[in-house]
Amino acid sequence: MRTHVLGFPSIGKKRELKQALESFWKGDLSAESLAGICTELKKRHWYIQKDAGLDFVSTGDFSLYDRMLDITCMLGALPPRFAPCAGDPPLERYFSLARGDIKRNIPALEMTKWFDTNYHYLVPEIDGESPWTRGTHPVIEDTRLAGELGFSPKPALIGPFTWLTLAKATVKAAAKTGEGVSTWSRLETVVSAYAELLAALAPYCGFIQIEEPVLCTELLPEKGAEKFRDAYAVLNAAAPGRLMLTTYFGPLSRHLETAASSGCAALHVDLVRGRGQLEAVLDKLPAGMILSLGLVDGRNIWKTGYAKTLPLIEQAVSAIGGERVFLGSSCSLLHSPVDLAEETALLGHIKSRMAFAVQKCAELSALCSIAGHGGQKLLDENTAAHQESRVDAVRERAASVTSAMLSRASAYPARRAAQAHLNLPMLPATTIGSFPQTDAIRRTRLDYRRGRITETEYTAAIKGEIKDCIGKQEELGLDVLVHGEAERNDMVEYFGQQLGGFCFTQNGWVQSYGSRCVKPPVIYGDVYRKHPMTVDWIRYAQSLTQKPVKGMLTGPVTILCWSFVRDDLERSEVCKQIALAIRDEVQDLEKAGIRIIQIDEAALREGMPPAKAEAETYLQWAVDAFRLASTGVEDATQIHTHMCYSEFNAILPWIAKMDADVISIESSRSGMELLDAFSGFHYQGEVGPGVYDIHSPRIPSADEITELLRRALRHIPKEQLWVNPDCGLKTRRWEEAWPSLNNMVAAARRLREP
C-alpha cells in the first residue's frame, strides 16, 4: 500500500504566506523575496510529508492565491475587461484578476464558495468568443524542483470538467448561444491545454492527481458528462499510466460509471463523506485500476478513528490486493489548520483528540503500518485518545424533543393578526443587526479582553454605544430598531464563547481566500447554554425607546457551519443541541418583553452538501433545528430570519418551511434576482429583499431604492414587503451608513403614500 495526502495547506503554520503576500501588495516585499518565501514553505511542507513516511509529496497544491485561478491563467482565459492588463508582468496580471486592477478600475473575478467548504475560489468567466492566450502553470517548476531535491512528487491539478462546470458563462455568451452551451464549446481548447500540461509534467513524476469533485455532485450537466470519456482518453494519452482521477466531498453515485471507465490509472474516492460507496466502487473498478481510499478527513481537526477505518482498508485489500490500494486524505488538507503542536493552551483531554494537517500525514503512515503488520500499540493509543465529552442532561433533553416543539401555536395568518399590536407602518424599515464597528468600539472590546478595563467599565462603554445607536436610529426614522451588536466581534464566536461544549484554538487558522484566514470555534462536547447571552443588552436597548427593538441571535445551523464540529456525534444532533440553547435564549428574550426576535441563518445555504440525497437530508434537519430554536414563543412575538445569498430559488420551499414571520435576504447586488423565485411561489410570510448593498461604500440614492422597491412590489404584495439593507452594517463607516439609511427610509415613506 502507498500513502499520500491530496494537498497540504499553503498558508504556513504561522500564516507566513499571508504576511508575505500582504507585504508584497503593499510594496514592502520584492517579487523575488515573495518567491523565496514560497519556495521555503513548499519545501517545509514536502519535508513534513516525507518525514511522516508518506510515499509521495504533493505539488500543485501550493498556490499564490487560488488553484482555480492558476488553471484560468494557464488557459489564458482572461475575461475581456482584463484586456488592458495583457502586457503586464504575469504576476501583476495574476493579482489583478484576483483582487481587481485598482489603477485601471477593473473589478476582480467574482469569488464564491468551493462546494460546501468555507474556502472561496475565483470564478472563471467564459464568453465563448474572446481569444485565449495560453500561459504557464507553476506546478511544472515545483514538480521539477521537488524531484531534484529527492522527493517523489505527485502533482495535483483541478480537472477540466470541474473547472468548466464552475466557470460562469457571461451574459454575452448566454444571450447568443443559450446558457451553458458556450462554456462547453470551450471543452476541446481546455482539454488540449491540459494535455500539454500533463505531457510536460510526466517526465518529473509518477502519478498526477487530477481532481474532479463535480463527479460527486449534481452540477455536471449532461452535455459535460457525455464528453467525459473522450476527453479523458486525450488526457491519458498525454501522460499514459499516470492519472489518478480524484473525487471528493461525497460519494460518486451517479457518476461512478463515468469515473470507473475513465481509463485513468488510479481512482481516488472520499470514504469520509462517502463511506458507504466502497462496495459499489470495488464492484465497478476495472481490473488493474489502482484505488486510493480517502480515509483521513481533510476537513476537520480530529484524529481519525483507526478502529473504524481499518475495516475499509481490509475490505479493499481483500478485493483487489494491497499493491492496488493507496491510503489518502479524503480531500486536500487545505481545509484543516496546519500544526497542532502550535497549540499550547488547549485542555489536554481535548487536544489529545485532535489532529491538524501535520498530524494527519502521520496518521496515514500509522494506518498503513497497522493494516500491514498490526501495530497494536498505535491502535491502542488511538482508541484511548478518544474521550467522549458528554453531558447527560443535554442528551436527555435532545432525546425528548417532541414534534410539537417544532411548531408555532398557530399558522402564519393567525400570527399575523396576533402581531398587529406591534403597530408597524406599511413597508416597515429596519436593519439587519450590526451598525458600524468604530475604532472606539473595537478598542473597548480589546481593552476588556486584555484586562485593561473592568467588567463594569466595559458594560458601561457598550451601553453607551447602544444608547448612541438607538438615538441615531430614532433620528433616521427606522421603524424596528436594533441594539447594534457592538459587543460582538463575530456573530458565531460571540455565542461560542458563552456556550458549553465550545473551545478556541490559538493558531487554528484555515485559508478562506487569498491571504485571508479564519479561526473557527471548536465544538468538542455537548452544547448547552450556561446563562442568558444577549438579554441584558437587548433589554437595555428596548428601555431607551418606544419603538420595538429586535433581539438579535445567530441561528443553530450557522453556528454549526462556521465551527469545527466534533466527529463523534451526528451533525444533526449537534445542531439540535445548539438549537435548544438558542430556543432558551429566544424564550428569555420574550420574557424580557422583546416582541421581535431575529435569528440569522447566514450559512444555511452554503452548508448544503453537494450531493443531492445528502442535501435533502441536511435541509430537513437544518430546517427542523431552526424551528426548534424559533417556535417556542407566543403568536404575538414576531420571528425574523436573515440570509446572505440570493441563489436560493431551489431551496425556497425549505425556506418557507422554516416558518419565520419575516425573512430578509441579500438581493441588491444580483439585481433583485431572487424576486423571480417569489413570483412563482406563494410565500405566506413577509419579505425584506435587501435594497442597499452594504458590501460597497457607495451611497444609494432615494430614487434608486424607490425603484428597487417598486420592482419588489411587482412580486411581493405591499402588506408583505419590508425595507432593509442586504446585510449588517458592521463593515461600513457611519459616513456611508447614515446617508444610505436616510435615503432608504425616505424611499419607504414615499411608497407608503397612497
- Segment contacting Zn ion (CB under 5 A): 20-28, 453-461, 562-570, 644-652? 644-652
Angle, helices 612-630/571-591, rounded to nearest 10 degrees:
20
Q: Which does 93 bind (CB under 5 to 8 A by kind): Zn ion, ligand GLN, none?
A: none
With H, G, I as helix, E, B as strand and everything else as coil, classify residue 544. coil
Residues 594-633 that bind Zn ion (CB under 5 A): 602
Residues 426-445 that bind ligand GLN (CB under 6 A): 432-434
**Minimal distance in Å, beta carbon 727 to Zn ion?**
3
In the complex with ligand GLN, the residue whose CB is nearer, 329 or 434, is 434
Q: Checking phi first, is residue 42 left (phi over 0); if not, alpha (psi -120 to 50) or beta?
A: alpha
**Minimal distance in Å, beta carbon 434 to ligand GLN?**
3
Q: Are 539 and 38 in contact (CB under 8 A)?
A: no
In the complex with ligand GLN, the residue whose CB is nearer, 362 or 729, is 729
Grid cell locating 575? 445542531
- Segment contacting Zn ion (CB under 5 A): 281-289, 352-360, 433-441, 721-729? 721-729
Q: Checking phi first, is residue 232 left (phi over 0); if not, alpha (psi -120 to 50) or beta?
A: alpha
Which residues are CB-contacts of 365 (< 8 A; sequence separation ≥ 6)?
3, 52, 53, 54
Grid cell locating 660? 419565520
* 349 a catalytic residue: no
With H, G, I as helix, E, B as strand and everything else as coil, classify residue 307. helix
Residue whose C-alpha cell reads 518525514 in the numeric block: 51
**Minimal distance in Å, beta carbon 336 to ligand GLN?**
24
Q: Which does 552 bind (CB under 5 to 8 A by kind): Zn ion, ligand GLN, none?
A: ligand GLN
Neighbours of 86 (CB within 10 A): 10
Give the DSSP H/E element, type plus range, for residue 292: strand 290-296
Cα–Cα distance for residue pair 697/392, rounded to 1 Å: 49
Angle, helices 376-385/306-320, rounded to nearest 10 degrees:
140
Q: Which does 665 bind (CB under 5 to 8 A by kind): ligand GLN, Zn ion, none?
A: none
Residues 625-684 that bind ligand GLN (CB under 6 A): 642, 644
- Segment contacting Zn ion (CB under 5 A): 31-39, 274-282, 542-550, 641-649? 641-649
Give yes or no for residue 727 binding Zn ion (CB under 5 A): yes
- DSSP percent split of the chain into helix, strand, coil, nearest 5: 50, 15, 40
In the complex with ligand GLN, the residue whose CB is nearer, 71 or 644, is 644
**Minimal distance in Å, beta carbon 254 to Zn ion?**
33
Give yes or no for residue 605 binding ligand GLN (CB under 6 A): no
In the complex with ligand GLN, the residue whose CB is nearer, 326 or 540, is 540
In the complex with Zn ion, the residue whose CB is nearer, 355 or 644, is 644
Give yes or no for residue 552 binding ligand GLN (CB under 6 A): yes
Give yes or no for residue 126 binding Zn ion (CB under 5 A): no
In the complex with ligand GLN, the residue whose CB is nearer, 353 or 732, is 732
Q: Which does 491 bind (CB under 5 to 8 A by kind): Zn ion, ligand GLN, none?
A: ligand GLN
Spot the catalytic one: 349, 421, 531, 695: 695
Binding mask 541-580 for Zn ion (x = CB under 5 A): ----------------------------------------
**Minimal distance in Å, beta carbon 664 to ligand GLN?**
9
**Minimal distance in Å, beta carbon 191 to Zn ion?**
40
Reduce the secondary structure of 323-337 to three states and give it as a string.
Answer: HHEEEEECCCHHHCC
Number of residues that bind ligand GLN (CB under 6 A): 13
In the complex with ligand GLN, the residue whose CB is nearer, 432 or 746, is 432
In the complex with ligand GLN, the residue whose CB is nearer, 111 or 280, is 111
The only residue of 245, 256, 602, 708 in contact with ligand GLN, by rule CB under 6 A: 602
In the complex with ligand GLN, the residue whose CB is nearer, 334 or 694, is 694
**Minimal distance in Å, beta carbon 429 to ligand GLN?**
15
Tell me the H-state helices in 493-553.
493-496, 535-543
- Segment contacting ligand GLN (CB under 6 A): 19-27, 79-87, 276-284, 726-734? 726-734
Q: What backbone phi and psi angles, to 5 degrees, belong to 3? A: -125, 150
- Segment contacting Zn ion (CB under 5 A): 434-442, 550-558, 615-623, 640-648? 640-648
Give yes or no for residue 644 binding Zn ion (CB under 5 A): yes
Residue whose C-alpha cell reads 480515509 in the numeric block: 295
Cα–Cα distance for residue pair 285/298, rounded to 1 Å: 24
**Minimal distance in Å, beta carbon 486 to ligand GLN?**
11
Length of the chain: 754
DSSP letters, 35-89, are HHHHHHHHHHHHHHHHHTT-S-EEES---SS-HHHHHHHHHT---GGGGGGTTS-
Buried b (16+ CB within 10 A) or exposed e, 216-238: bbeebeeebbebbeebbeebbeb
**Number of helices (H), then strands (E), in the chain:** 29, 22
Grid cell locating 475? 433620528
**Minimal distance in Å, beta carbon 465 to ligand GLN?**
14
Tell me the H-state helices in 273-390.
278-284, 306-320, 348-351, 357-373, 376-385
Grid cell locating 84? 488592458
**Minimal distance in Å, beta carbon 595 to ligand GLN?**
18
**Adjacent-strand bridge partners of 528:** 500
In the complex with ligand GLN, the residue whose CB is nearer, 9 or 484, is 484
Residues 478-537 that bind ligand GLN (CB under 6 A): 485, 491
Q: Which does 730 bind (CB under 5 to 8 A by kind): ligand GLN, Zn ion, none?
A: ligand GLN
Residues that bind Zn ion (CB under 5 A): 602, 644, 727
Q: Which residues are marked as active site?
A: 695
Residues that bind ligand GLN (CB under 6 A): 432-434, 485, 491, 552, 600, 602, 642, 644, 727-728, 730
